[in-house]
Amino acid sequence: MSACALRSWQRPGYQKHSQQVPARSVARERCFRYPGGVAMRTCTDCQLTKPLADFTPIKGTRWTHTRCKPCRAARARAGRPPRVAKPHAPPGMRICAGCGVTKPLDDFSPTSGARYRKTTCKPCRAAMAKTAYVPRPKRQPPTERTCTECGVTNPIADFLRIRATRAGVYGRCRACRNARARERYHSTPSIRAAEVARASRNQKARGLRRRLQVQRAKQPEAVDTP
């Protein structure tokens, strides 16, 4: 019988899958001294030989950094600016994150839906909102409009302005409005009489307004004080 007759689990040194050592740690153990079966490494900073677990692995590789974790931490700390303790405000007060002034809590608006307050004071927040505010571009009035009766799109000048509004115009064009008014005027004698009365009333009112305007222009103080 040849050696090939032995199945893998019959060969010396066979390990169940769950007992197998990952290739990565095998490679590490091969590279470093390991008394007592633990992979060790000597730190290049403190010169101490420590278990490999005390060295940070280099991400994406099978290697570790050459300095131990405490030595790396010390170097990182030395490179950072020293931590300055944050000043504490007395109870009921808060130091504004904007102006740095210590103010009572009432000067900080509550956060909506939470029991916390904003970190910047009300005046600071108001100033911030003012600088951030960008006015919305004003809506320009339309230059043309489609008549709701004849369906023709005409320039806005062909529509009657609605007196009390800034830029409102009636939905029907002047031609359609005029046609309607004419139709109504000629419909019945009573409507016609009413329209005639309304027209003369309006004319009288216009005349009165014009005269009053002229009077006001001549002597403004005499009209204002009765």
Choose the binding region for Zn ion from 26-34, 42-50, 111-119, 126-134 (rule: CB under 5 A). Answer: 42-50
For Zn ion, the closer CB: 45 or 106: 45
3-state helix, strand, coil in the chain (%, to 5): 45, 10, 45
Among 41, 55, 64, 121, binds Zn ion (CB under 5 A): 121
**Interaction residues for Zn ion, span 186-225 (CB under 5 A):** none
Q: Around Cβ 166, how many Cβ atoms within 10 Å?
A: 7
For Zn ion, the closer CB: 86 or 218: 86
Query: Does position 57 bind Zn ion by CB under 5 A?
Result: no
Query: Does position 169 bind Zn ion by CB under 5 A?
Result: no
Which among 137, 134, 155 has a CA at the least distance from the CA of 146?
155
Query: Does position 98 bind Zn ion by CB under 5 A?
Result: yes
Helix (H) or strand (E) holding 204: helix 189-218
CB of 25 to Zn ion, least distance (A): 21
CB of 124 to Zn ion, least distance (A): 3
**Total number of residues that touch Zn ion (CB under 5 A):** 15
Choose the binding region for Zn ion from 30-38, 80-88, 166-174, 184-192 (rule: CB under 5 A). Answer: 166-174
Q: Around Cβ 185, how many Cβ atoms within 10 Å?
A: 14
Choose the binding region for Zn ion from 12-20, 78-86, 88-96, 205-213 (rule: CB under 5 A). Answer: 88-96
Choose the binding region for Zn ion from 13-21, 143-151, 190-198, 202-210 (rule: CB under 5 A). Answer: 143-151
For Zn ion, the closer CB: 68 or 169: 68
CA separation for the pair 141, 160 (Å, rounded): 14
Collapsing DSSP to helix, strand or coil, 75 comes out as helix
CA separation for the pair 191, 184 (Å, rounded): 7
Token representation of residue 172: 């029907």
CA separation for the pair 218, 223 (Å, rounded): 10
The 8-class DSSP code of residue 195 comes to: H
Query: Does position 106 bind Zn ion by CB under 5 A?
Result: no
Query: Does position 93 bind Zn ion by CB under 5 A?
Result: no
Helix and strand element counts for the chain (H, E): 6, 6
Q: Which residues bind Zn ion (CB under 5 A)?
A: 43, 45-46, 68, 71, 96, 98-99, 121, 124, 147, 149-150, 173, 176
